[in-house]
Amino acid sequence: MERTDLFKKLADLAQLDYDAVRVYDEALEHTGEAEITTAFEHFRADHKNHYEQLTAWIGKAGGEVPRLHVDVMGHAADWLTSIRSLRGTAGALHAMRTAEKYHNSHYAKAAEWDVDDEEVATMLRRFYNDERQHLEFVESHLKTPAGAGAPQ
């Protein structure tokens, strides 16, 4: 993959993660269970770490560091999360399942890119693994009645 194409694709992923932090901020306003809140705070930190590492690598590799901002997709995700989260923790979990499926689909593709830089390839695989863990947590808690704890 051409270096300029890689910079653009990594910038798009960084924007996705930047938007995800805002979505988690919104969901956290509506969660009432300590375990869910703790996990969502951790997942939000993962997304922040992702966009920070992606943008740092772009700059280190000689690309123009993207200026992340709330874009149309970010506003749409905020709106969807806000509406769904009005139903409390269950609504927040449903909203985050939708968001994490979206993130997983993008990182699954990214993990398969033909990248000649092992640092980037490793980073993308690691971030995809984070996304899978986020989705697994959310889905496991959607199968568990509120207040019942994690499934055994």
Q: Output the domain CATH number for residue 23.
A: 1.20.1260.10
Q: pTM for this structure? A: 0.84
Is the residue at 107 inside a domain? yes
Is the residue at 152 inside a domain? no
Is the residue at 48 inside a domain? yes
Given this model, what pLDDT does residue 16 score? 92
Is the residue at 147 inside a domain? no
Count how many domains the chain has: 1
* Confidence grade of residue 152 (pLDDT, cut at 50, 70, 90): very low
Domain, as residue range, for 120: 3-142
- Whole-angstrom CA distances from 8 to 25, 35, 46, 55 are 26, 36, 21, 11
Is the residue at 148 inside a domain? no
Residue 80 reports pLDDT greater than 60: no
Do residues 29 and 78 touch, judged by C-beta distance below 8 A?
no
